[in-house]
Structure 1
Amino acid sequence: MKPIELSFEFFPPKTPDGVEKLRATRAQLLTLKPRFVSVTFGAGGSTQQGTLDTIVDIAKEGVDAAPHLSCIGSTKESLREILRQYRSHGIRHIVALRGDLPSGMGEMGELRYASELVAFIREETGDAFHIEVAAYPEYHPQARSPRHDLEAFAKKVKAGANSAITQYFFNADAYFRFLEDARKLGVDVPIVPGIMPITNYTQLMRFSEMCGAEVPRWVAKRLESFGDDRESIRAFGLDVVTDLCRRLIENGAPGLHFYTLNAAGATKAICERLDL
């Protein structure tokens, strides 16, 4: 079996303490030798400077750092300037997303879809960037239909994406079916499953409601039954997510992309259990 490639997602910290916490988290996770790490980009570019600062900080550590870039609420000129800044800092990897329009902001921007953003990056920079895009095994919450969602994904890849990262999920069958359906549409790039460690029941349910990820009823009920018992939640969560990752690896997933929430503990524990 070929080695599994790991990658980790972080978000830009907002305080000096947050910056230090993220550095400590990275110090632990970088021992796992990830292929790259990514840093999120707030709605409408609200964390633009924070994303840049964090990316530059990580790149100094000799790690392939991939900033997220969303097009909603942005002009072509502002996107052009962001790409120029990343290139000037030696960044060669981007996660291209549509993004969400911030509340109160009425302008969609000049590019409405991630496929348009991918095409724009290619027009502006050629092959300067390795471009990741998002995939939704359980369908984007705003998709008109499963078929429409799948075709939108294929369009992003055909616009020039090199690989994809999925929204997190807990049903491996959803991932394998999505993979099969995507291949039938001619998509041949690696599609890496996104993994969300379970450490907090309330937070997990809130995130999942927002992004359309399904938490199986048996998992939700077990987590709910633990109440405020954090240790039991963490132990059960480790079992569930480790079993999911093991099944994905055994059935040929090309890698695992962890949504770390800027914490190392659960992600590292899962990787150690999997002997990665």
Structure 2
Amino acid sequence: MARIADKLAVGRTLSFEFFPPKSASAQMTLGRTVAELAPLGPDFVSITYGAGGSDRHRTADVVGWMRTETDVEPMAHLTCVGHTRTDVAALLVDYRRMGVENILALGGDLPADGSTQAGDYRYALDLLADVAATGCFSVGVAAHPEVHPRSPDRAADRKHLADKLQIADFAITQFFFDVEHYTRLVDELAALGIDKPIVPGIMPVTNLAQIHRMAKMSGSEVPGWLVDRLESARTDAEAKQIGIELASALCTDLIDAGAPGLHLYTLNRSEVAKQIRVNLGSVLV
């Protein structure tokens, strides 16, 4: 069983997110991280895509490596920014040849300088339709519990997400820090007739400066209580343990709320994800 939709139909999933390495040393780090997390038995892992499609070849390289050299099931991110339909068709053919069965179809970010190549897609919904039309993949989409930063309002955001989930098999959320953001999202989608699995994404916070930058891009709020807890740390090691404790508590709350799985953002490191899994124990089963 390789398709994520099938895995979610059977029971709760555990998954990790990685990004493509940009150097030989970063590749070695990712290799070690995957080797250390693989024994935890993740149901799948996702491989991100750079802004404007800049990492498209690195993403494919990592996905291909995982398919041939590991037992981990990869899900490739695919974005519409800067892509033609010919680009996407060629990538999907390559992924099928590799045996990849899962795609996360995303709008994607523009490069930091605002530049991008002309493409055929305006919205993730258009890309999603093309991927789903192949019939070859289990397809997921992104969800923003606190509303996508480019959405005009909450109602429009939820309607657009519901439209995507009429086609997609599941969604994975952007990170957030209060379980109420997740439960409200699920309730709002249910009111629109959507009962597809919504897998929460969890970002353990061990570095406040880094998470503030990432939250600004994603539209997530870094709550004051989280800042206070991390600022109380006297050492980097203590801050890491606080981050692990808070992320573990959020995971437990999400499971209690009925989340169909947990998706941990690893930043290509294994220690924090491993400790969270240990903390969860049998709760995750």
TM bucket (normalised to shorter chain) is over 0.9
Deviations along 1:192-213, one digit per CA (max 9) or x if unpaired, are 0000011212111111112111
Identity %: 42
Quick check: 1:23 aligned with 2:31?
Answer: yes
TM-score if structure 1 supplies the norm length? 0.94
Distance 1:170 1:104 in 2: 29
User: CA offset at residue 254 of structure 1?
Assistant: 0.5
Distance 2:274 2:227 in 1: 23
Q: Residue 274 of structure 2 corresponds to which residue in structure 1? A: 268
Q: Give the secondary-structure state (helix, strand or coil) at the position aligned to 1:194.
A: strand
Give the 5 Å matches for 1:111-260.
Answer: 111-123=121-133, 125=134, 127-158=135-166, 160-226=167-233, 229-260=235-266
User: CA offset at residue 86 of structure 1?
Assistant: 0.7
User: CA offset at residue 226 of structure 1?
Assistant: 3.3
Between Structure 1 and Structure 2, how many residues are aligned?
Answer: 271
User: CA offset at residue 104 of structure 1?
Assistant: 4.1
Q: Give the secondary-structure state (helix, strand or coil) at the position aligned to 1:148.
A: helix
Which of 14, 37, 48 is the equivalent residue of 1:40? 48
Deviations along 1:44-64, one digit per CA (max 9) or x if unpaired, are 221111101100111121222
Distance 1:187 1:92 in 2: 23
Q: Give the secondary-structure state (helix, strand or coil) at the position aligned to 1:82.
A: helix
Distance 2:45 2:262 in 1: 12
User: CA offset at residue 107 of structure 1?
Assistant: 4.8
Distance 1:106 1:48 in 2: 14
Distance 1:140 1:104, change over 3 A: closer
| Contact kept? 1:199, 1:266, Cα under 8 Å | no
5+ long unaligned stretches in structure 2? 1-9
Distance 1:73 1:266 in 2: 34
Q: Give the secondary-structure state (helix, strand or coil) at the position aligned to 2:14.
A: strand
Query: Partner letter of residue 153 of structure 2?
Result: S
Deviations along 1:210-250, one digit per CA (max 9) or x if unpaired, are 211111111112323437x2112111111211111111111
Distance 1:3 1:92, change over 3 A: closer
Root-mean-square deviation over aligned CA pairs: 1.4
Query: Partner letter of residue 267 of structure 1?
Result: A
User: CA offset at residue 106 of structure 1?
Assistant: 5.1
Distance 2:46 2:154 in 1: 27
Distance 2:117 2:237 in 1: 45
| Contact kept? 2:105, 2:127, Cα under 8 Å | yes
| Contact kept? 1:198, 1:237, Cα under 8 Å | yes
User: CA offset at residue 11 of structure 1?
Assistant: 0.3
Which of 85, 92, 95 is the equivalent residue of 1:83? 92
Quick check: 1:109 aligned with 2:119?
Answer: yes
Distance 1:251 1:154 in 2: 21
TM-score if structure 2 supplies the norm length? 0.91
| Contact kept? 1:71, 1:98, Cα under 8 Å | yes
| Contact kept? 2:104, 2:139, Cα under 8 Å | yes
Query: Partner letter of residue 179 of structure 1?
Result: V
Query: Partner letter of residue 185 of structure 1?
Result: L
Q: Give the secondary-structure state (helix, strand or coil) at the position aligned to 1:274.
A: helix
Q: Residue 19 of structure 2 corresponds to which residue in structure 1? A: 11
| Contact kept? 2:81, 2:116, Cα under 8 Å | no
